[in-house]
Every structure is written in C-alpha cells, then in structure tokens.
Amino acid sequence: MFARPAPGRRPATAAALLSLLAALSTSARAATEDGGPAHRERPAAVSRVPSAAGSATPLAGFAVQSTAKVGDPAAAVSSPGYRTTGWHPAGPRSTVLAALLADGVYPDPFHSTNLSKIPRKDFDVPWWYRSDFTVEDTARRTHLDFSGVVSAADVYVNGHAVAGAADVTGAYTRHELDITPLVRPGANTVAFRIRPNNPDADLTMGWLDWLQPPPDRNMGIVRDVLVRRGGPVALRDAHVVTRLEVPSLATADLTVKAQARNDSDEAVTAQVTGRVAGTAFTRDVALAPHETKTVAFSPADVPGLRLASPRVWWPAGMGEQPLYDLDLTASVAGTASDTAHETFGVRDVQAPLDADGARQYRINGRKLLIKGGGWSPDEFLRWDPGYAADRLEYARDLGLNTLRLEGHIEPDEFFDLADRYGLLALPGWECCDKWEGNVNEDGSGEKWTDADHRVAKASMAAEAARLRGHPSVISFLIGSDAAPDATIERNYLDALKAADWSVPVIPAASEKSSPQLGRSGMKMTGPYDWVPPGYWYAKREGGATGFNSETSAGPDIPTLDTLRRMMTPAELETLWKDPGARQYHRSPSSVFGTLKIYDAALTGRYGAPKDLTDYVRKAQLAQYENVRAQYEAYARNATDADKPATGVIYWMFNSGWTSLHWQLTDRYLDQGGAYFGAKKANEPLHVQYSYDDRSVVVVNGRHEPAGRLTARATLFDPDGTQRYDRSVAGVSVDGDGARRTALTLPASVSGLPATYLLRLTLTDEDGREVSRNVYWLSTAPDTLDWAHTDWYYTPTSRYADLKGLASMAQAPVEATAATRSSGNMSTTTVTLRHAGSGKTPSLFTDVHLVDDRGRLVLPVRWSDNEAGLWPGESVTLTATYRTADLHGSAPHVRVSGWNTPERTLPAG
C-alpha cells in the first residue's frame, strides 16, 4: 500500500529533469530582484535517442516562451543552437501555466484567490515549445509520434515546417510525422508553436463548473512526444482481440493484429514474428513500396492462441488482475526493423438494458453494481504518477470499483494503474463545450465545421486504439449531457469498429438516445447540491434506481487542516459566517457559487455554527451521513425486482484543485466525513439502516454467501439512555451484492427524543464483530419538496432535528498507539477505549496521523475511522503509510470526536 513516491514526487527516471528544473528556477530567481525569471539562456534537457529498432524515446522536456517575446522566425527558433535566453523550462508533458508555476513565476494557485491574479492576456497568443534530441545513426528512419496538443500546433524540425495547425489540432488526435530526411547526426531540434485553447471552439478540454478555470485554459502539450527509430518496415496498431467463453470461462480466443508498413521506396518482404501466452508465431509479408498491410494471427492458423483455462482479469474484490504480454518483431533480410509490445487482459464486458431500461453491467458473466466516482485530473494537467497511484489506492480503499472520466482522459499510465488495481474506467467525451456544440442547446460550444467532424473522428480512433487493450476500460461514452446526432455517431462508431473496440459504447451519460445505439440506459437527474440522506432511498430523480452517471449532495467541506492551507483567515471567517458569500473555491458557476443551500441545512439540522471549528465538525458529520446513505441506498436496491439500482457515480471522487465541493478526498489527500462515509457504506459485508422504511439490512458484496450472522439494533438517547434493543440470529445472505432484511425498527419507540442514536452491529457465529454502523436520526425527519425539484437539487421543506447532539456530555476516550516499520512502509496501530463511567457514547471519534510538529502524514489508509464508542467499548484501528512521509519524525496520533476533547499522543 502506497509503496510509491509521495504526492508531488516523480519516479527516478524523471528525478534528473526535476532537479534541473528546480536548480534553474532557484538560480533564476536569485538573479533578479523581483523573483522573476532571469534573462539568460536556460536550455531544456537534451534527449538522447538510441538507434535500436523499435525504440520510442520521449522528449525529456521543453523550453517555452510566448511568441509575443520571440521576434525570430520559425526557421531560426527550430534550428539547433538557437539561444533560449529568458525562456522557461517545462517538463515533457506540460501546459504553459504548469511550466510557469514550476518556474516560480506565480505563487501557489491553490491558495486563496491567487489563481485569479494571473493575467489571462498572456495566453491569448501562441507559445513556442522547443526541445533538442541527439542521434548517432541517421541510417534509421525517424518519426515523431504524439498526441495531447492543446489546442493546435505548427510543427518544425531543424528549421523546416513539417505540419501545420490545420492538421495538428485537437487534444486527442494522434500524429506520426516522418522526419527521416531532416534528421542529422548529433543535435536536432523540434519546435511546436502552440495555439491558444478555447474549449468552446476547439475539440480539446474544458472545466465548466468543476473549478475556477486556469488562465491559460490548459494550452500546451500534455502527453509524451516520442521519437521513434526503425528500419524500412514499421509495425503499428499492434493489439490483441480477446473472446472469453462466458459463463464457463474455460477458454479464450486471442486474435493478434498489427499493421506492417513499408516506409521505403523498394518492395520488401518482412518477417513478422510474435509471442503471446507462451505461443510463438511467424509470417512473411510481401510489401510494395509504401504499402501497408494488416497482419493477423488467430486460433484458426495458430492453435495455441486458443487458451485453455485462461487467466481471467477481474475487478477488485471479485478476483485477481492478471495481465498478458504481446511481443512482435518485424525483420527485413534477417535484421530487426521494428518491434511492438502490448499488455492486455482477458475479460468479458456486457452492459445490456434491464427491463426498466437501465444499463446493467456484467463482468465475465457476473452482474456488477457500479459503485464509482468522477475522476478529476490536476487543474493544470500535470501528470504525477505517484500522486495518481495514491488517489487510485484511495478509490480502492473506499470500496469503489469504477472511475468515470468525463473528458480529461488521462495518459496511458493511468489505465496501466487501473488495470493493476482492478479499478474499472468509464472514459468519454465531455459536456457542454465544443464536444456538444451541435447537440446541446444549453451548452456553450460552437457548431461544428466539416474539419471538426474529421477531428472528432480522428480523436475517437486514437483513443479507441489507445484504450482497447486495457481490461479496466469497460465502455466509452460518446456523449455526456447530450447524445451525438446521426453523423457524429456514425463517425464515432466507424472509428470504434475499425479499432476492434469490443466493450459497450454508450450514447450519453444522460437519459438520451442516439439513432443507432438507442437508449443510453443512464440518467443524469442530479442532485448536485445538498439534499438530505433520505433522498437517496426514493426511486425517483437521483434516487437509488437505475444508473446515475453523476450525482451527490454537492458541497464537501474539507478538514480544518486543509481549509487552513487553502484559504486566508479572512476567507475562513466568511466561510462560516456568511452563507450567501461567493466562494471562490467552490465554482465559477452562478448556481454553485455559494454555500447557501448547504449552510441552511447545516444550521437547520445541527444548529447554527459557533465558530469555524464548530462549522467544520458539523460539516464532517453531515457529509458522513449523506455520502454513506447515497452508497447504501444504491447497494440496498441493487437486487430489487422492480426498478433496481445498477450504478452510481459520486460526483466527484476528487478535485483538481483546492475545492469546497464534489470530492470524497481533497487535493492534499486528507480524509474527512465524506471519505469515511463512503468507506463505511462500501464494506464487503455490511449492516445498514434504511431511511425510508426503517429496515435493517445486511448487504454482502463478497462472492461467497455469508451465514450464521447476528444483527443487532439498539436505539439510544444522546445521553446514552437505551430505549430499544433487538437481536436477530441466524441471518444468512447470498453473495454478489445480495441483501437480507434482518429486522425493521418500530415506527415509534416510547420515550425516544427528537434526536436519537442508532447502533447497528453484525457479528459472526463466534461473536466477532464484522460490521458496525452508527446513525444519528430524528423523530422529525427531513421532508422533501418534490414538487419544486430543480435540475440540481430537491428543496427540503423541513429539516430533521439533530440539534440534540449538541447536548451530549463529554466522553473520555483513552488511546494507545504503536508503530512498526517494514521496508519503506509503516503501520501504526491505535486502540481507542471509551473510559467513561457514565452512559454517554463518544460519537464520531476521529484519528489523524501527524508528525512531531502536528503536520498531517498523508497519504494514509485507515482500516476504519470516525467511530462511535459506548462506555467500556474499544476498537483497534490501523494506519498504513510510507515511512518517508514522516520526514524523519516520530509518528503521533491526534484523537478527537464530536464530544471528545482533542489530544495528541506519541505512536512510536
């Protein structure tokens, strides 16, 4: 767990580049009085390109500068030896603003309103990206291979134009440029003149209402630029088409395909050899000058490509995640000309519509409730493999099985990680900007030209070829809020078919239809702002029925630690005192610009906050109960005979910046009520309460059935007075998401106050507790005003009365902690014990791992957290983390709770 670089770090392969960037940045700032870049030459790293056949070397980095500050012609800028005095170093994947931030030009854009102070006009002109590479052998053919240009670029090599912005346009289109005649021994130069980005006019990436948009609108190059070397015959588009026998899983047929392309002026015969799953194969392919042929190997001609007892790939929690390797070589006259390597998984994905028209996913023949979250990349599209891995680990820790990528489709490494971790991915095009310009009347995107249709089809072809081999990818959504029209859909489907796309294609994330694919089987009915926990149990709007592609109760206020990192003291005062104030860290949208709806509910249910600390602790309590209810409702309803729930995507899993809404974990990977509410709800074997009918239900997310369980429900006053207690033994429940109602709480209980507590426990036949769940409820529940439902929420006409929680007496909790380390990982074990002599429980007891200066140690994976303890009860929690994240300090734990005083103790 977390055995990778910490957030903000890079793997060793990039360490030298980052050291160079840091050194350049430091020396440049020292050379100027105002801290800006020094006006001297600061070259980007030079990439050494080997001559080996099949090598693909990413450019190590760029020097970047605004064309407003470069008066020299393109031929000069793109020639070796050109002096880059005053330019800024950039990484191999970098937007303009990301480069300037790394160079120290602007202060932390995640703090306060710093982002708004960066001048937008600086990015209204093109910017140069310049990089040098060296080769020794010019007898090899050389190609530039790249995508990820935002929004378009003119491309030059060694002083010569090789492509124009009319062709190199669109963030997802892939380009291969033959630069063999221009390459010389020694130093060579590639230069891109990047055009400004406008998501409403360009088929690229935009942000809508997720966050305050970056001033450069992400212009730059955000994927690797590869320099490929090879002989006369190139191998391209290598992939494996798999067909798994379902439901037996007894056999799998593999079909290997690749394009053999003769780049020479002479006819040649290429020998294509390969190996996959222990089976070798070979074929001679005759190619005329500049001819391309498809080479295919199938079980019909290579029997070994029919696998008996294949190693099947499963989502996390359902099985293992084995992967296979494909290796191909093309040789001419006995000399290797090119090679290809691909990794793939064997699995089957189906997603038919159920009887109610909802999309129901089946993986390897087994039904699966999609429990997911919306993925956000970094706001400046900075790719950090360690940080990405940490977030994916968090998703798996929460019991999620799916991440939806609405646009902003991440680099290859993201999907490699998803394959390894068993996390499913739902990539697709984004809403409301140019991608939906022809079909979304409520969006801001411009209408498409003929050229846009070509770019869109090329984008689909490139992404299909890139993603098809990843077993984690289980669909592509060719529409978001709107579905494509007939022409756009036909182009997308033609591109997908040509790429041998084998998993379902979904017309939209909303309840829309397209001419060929028909109904989407999904709904996008919200909510996106606060609703009470009981909302999720209604089978209407965003409630737990069908497949909800994006939904949550909106604001997710971070912990106090994170808030103090992202906002000034004055902003924090406004945060808790003024519900109607515009919150810069919420959204640029007029709908989501304030916390008015959320704050009204917080005050109406829990009482007005007394200060910032009180506001934040009430927020964590509210977010825990709401997120828990959302996932619990969908899990409970997944096996219903009538209008079952088939999927839910929490909007969102994470944020690309320091945010006040739509996040289960914050920018810094701290964990609060939303995080642990999701973790609790998604336990593999779980006991839960239903807000609609008071049933106590056991949900079994494991494959194997569970039996001989005892479910117990106990009701308490906030002071700990017991009002009701019932146990039911002999509870059994089937696997694969099945549920069993253990008991139903009575409609009324004598003496129960307006605010009360419910403790649920589930024990096995040996009396061991396997699930525990504590609720705070009201005899005066929330009342929804369904008649006035809007697209983003349903109003609440009466709030539940939870103010009685404020009267809870202080409850002492003793804590002991110890730490053991192994390799680069540490585990801290914390035992909490309610040591009080009275009746009052300790509610929402939280533990944070800190160093000896009180700074959070992140990321961390807790076995559980935010627990409820009654007098005499104890619980043992474990925290797993990288030892290096202590920065040489001894570990400590900070313990606090709703009614437990905060204290910190050593955990060495």
Sequence-separated (6 or more) residues with CB below 8 Å from residue 819: 826, 827, 828, 829, 891, 907, 908
Quote the CA–CA distance of 8 and 20 in Å, as a whole number.
16
Nearest residue to 179 (alpha-carbon basis) of 149, 140, 153: 140
Q: Which residues on adjacent β-strands are paired with residue 190?
A: 131, 157
CA atoms within 13 A on the CB side of 362: 12
Burial label, 288 (beta-carbon count in 10 A; 0-12, 13-18, 19+): exposed
- Which amino acid is residue 115, in one-letter code? L
* Distance set, CA 409 to CA 144, 223, 315, 758 (Å): 22, 11, 20, 43
CA proximity to 231, closest of 327, 341, 138, 136: 138
Q: In 483-517, which positions are buried (b, 16+ CB within 10 angstroms) versus exposed (e)?
A: bbeeebbebbbebbeebbbebbbbbbbbbbebeeb
Buried b (16+ CB within 10 A) or exposed e, 124-137: eebbbbbbbbebee
The structure tokens 């028909």 sit at 518
- Report how far apart, in Å, the C-alpha atoms of 272 and of each of 52, 212, 329, 333 are: 17, 51, 6, 12
Strands (E), 494-557: 505-506, 513-514, 518-519, 546-551
Report CA 788 to chain centroid distance, whole Å: 33
Can you tell me whether residue 884 is helix, strand or coil? helix
- Would you say 604 and 800 are in contact if contact means Cβ atoms under 8 Å apart? no
Distance CA(256)–CA(283), nearest Å, equals 12
Is 103 considered catalytic here? no
Rounded distance between C-alpha atoms, residue 128 and residue 191, angstroms: 7
Instruction: Give me the catalytic one of 209, 550, 782, 846.
Output: 550
Among candidates 500, 620, 594, 426, which has minimal Cα distance to 259?
A: 500
Positive or negative CA dihedral for 104, 106, 107, 110? negative
Q: Which two tokens stand for residue 266?
A: 């002479």
Q: Is 851 a catalytic residue?
A: no
Pair of tokens at residue 291 = 């001819």
Query: What is the token pair recorded at 635?
Result: 């899990």
Q: Which class for 811: exposed (0-12), middle (13-18), buried (19 or more C-beta within 10 A)?
A: buried
Least Cα distance to 655 among 554, 561, 522, 549 occurs for 554
The total of other beta-carbon atoms located within 10 Å of residue 642's CB is 9
The SS3 assignment for 621 reads helix
103, 348, 481, 782: which is the annotated catalytic residue?
481
**Cβ atoms of residues 426 and 477 within 8 Å:** yes
Q: Please provide the distance, in angstroms rounded to a whole number, between the alpha carbons at the two ends of the chain.
A: 20
Closest CA to 93 of 222, 280, 210: 222
- Please report, as a single letter, which amino acid is at residue 519: R
List of residues 6+ apart from 787 with CB closer than 8 A: none
Among 597, 570, 594, CA closest to 583: 594
Residue with tokens 């437990």: 900
Task: Give SS3 for 406.
Answer: strand
Which residue numbers are catalytic?
A: 481, 550
